[in-house]
Amino acid sequence: MMALAFLLLILVILLVWFGKRHAAIYLLLFTLVFSFALFMHHFTTHLNLNL
Amino acid sequence: MTTITVQTMERVVNALMILAIAILLCMSFILQYGFNELPCPLCLLQRVGFIITSIGFMLNLRFGLRPSHYAITLLGALFTAFVALRQVALHVLPGTGAYGSSIFGFHLYTWSFIIAIGIVLFTTIILGLDIQYIESKKKPAAFTSVLHGLFALIFILTVGNFISTLIECGLGQCPDNPLHYLL
């Protein structure tokens, strides 16, 4: 899953490089949300919460 | 100071910030392959955060200086700081151990937190210079070759991170305390 975050970032860098500003920003925000979800998953599995 | 001078200065500062983040990512690769320190999931997320931070600066160089680009940099740096602080919290109590080696007495995640907070403070200061957003007839220096060089550097480092993460974790969840590469 973590590799996917880097793959998304590669796409974002290519979009910036080729001048696609809006697409790059939207994909970047999606990557940020995705990375945050990975972080929250890691965080909550360590807390052993009974939700 | 004229608008054009401030814009040129800001572009140089943005380029230097990208270079600094590239050096940071290179150092993490040196530690990973030179000293066989495998990155944990939180370490990888900190790398993601630093790359997002650098993309904010790259947007500034590619499309011109805008507050929205600095906002992306701030989001990336805050995310990095948040993840690093979580890792600091995991190991801050005596007897809970540490992850990886330390540099100048601080572990890498502590440095990561300090640097991310430094980027937040610095970006907040430089985005506050209103004169840089004024459109002038004269265009600032393009730095075309420098710009492409920096983009290539960050691109190569991100591809390197993608491949190394794929080798370490595959497509699934990364182990909390990785001891060897999966592939």
Residue A33 maps to a domain: yes
pTM of the model: 0.92
Residue A11 confidence class, pLDDT cut points 50, 70, 90: very high
Which is higher by pLDDT, B97 or A13?
A: A13
Cβ distance A6 to B45 less than 8 Å, yes or no, reads no
Q: Identify residue B61 by its one-letter amino acid code.
A: L
Over B53-82, what HEC string results?
HHHHHHHHHHHCCCHHHHHHHHHHHHHHHH
Residue A49 maps to a domain: no
Residue A23 confidence class, pLDDT cut points 50, 70, 90: very high
**Interatomic CA distance for residues B62 and B3, integer angstroms:** 18
Cβ distance B45 to A38 less than 8 Å, yes or no, reads yes
Residue A48 maps to a domain: no
ipTM: 0.90
Cβ distance A4 to B171 less than 8 Å, yes or no, reads yes
**Interatomic CA distance for residues B144 and B147, integer angstroms:** 5
Residue B140 confidence class, pLDDT cut points 50, 70, 90: low
Are B11 and B60 in contact by the 8 Å Cβ rule? The answer is yes
**Interatomic CA distance for residues B61 and B142, integer angstroms:** 8
Query: How is residue B63 written in tokens?
Result: 């499309």
All domains of chain B in start order, with CATH = 3-169 (1.20.1550)
CA-nearest residue to B56 within chain A is A25
Full domain range(s) for residue A16 = 2-43
Are B141 and B5 in contact by the 8 Å Cβ rule? The answer is no
| Average model confidence (pLDDT) across chain B | 89
* SS3 label, residue A4: helix
Averaged pLDDT, B82-111: 87
Residue A25 maps to a domain: yes
Spell out which residues of chain B touch residue A39, defining contact as CB-CB under 8 Å.
42, 45, 79, 82-83, 86
pLDDT confidence of residue B138: 66
pLDDT confidence of residue B110: 93
* SS3 label, residue B106: strand
Are B53 and B154 in contact by the 8 Å Cβ rule? The answer is no
Cβ–Cβ contact A6 with B under 8 A: yes
Say which residue the tokens 């993460």 belong to: B165
Is the Cα dihedral B127, B128, B133, B139 positive or negative? negative
Query: How is residue B15 written in tokens?
Result: 């380029």
pLDDT greater than 90 at residue B70 = yes
Spell out which residues of chain A touch residue B158, defining contact as CB-CB under 8 Å.
6, 9-10, 13
Are B51 and B83 in contact by the 8 Å Cβ rule? The answer is no
Residue A24 maps to a domain: yes
H/E stretch holding B107 reads strand B106-107
**Interatomic CA distance for residues B133 and B117, integer angstroms:** 25
Residue B170 is given by DSSP the state T
**Interatomic CA distance for residues B30 and B49, integer angstroms:** 19
Residues 6+ apart with CB under 8 A from A51: none
Of A5, A16, A43, the CB nearest to B55: A16
pLDDT confidence of residue A45: 80
Q: Could you tell me where the DSSP H helices lie in chain A?
A: 2-17, 21-47
Residue B155 confidence class, pLDDT cut points 50, 70, 90: very high
Domain count, chain A: 1
Of A6, A28, A35, the CB nearest to B165: A6
pLDDT confidence of residue A49: 66
Averaged pLDDT, B65-83: 95
Are B53 and B78 in contact by the 8 Å Cβ rule? The answer is no
Of A2, A16, A46, the CB nearest to B58: A16
Chain B: give the shortest CA distance to residue A35, in Å: 7
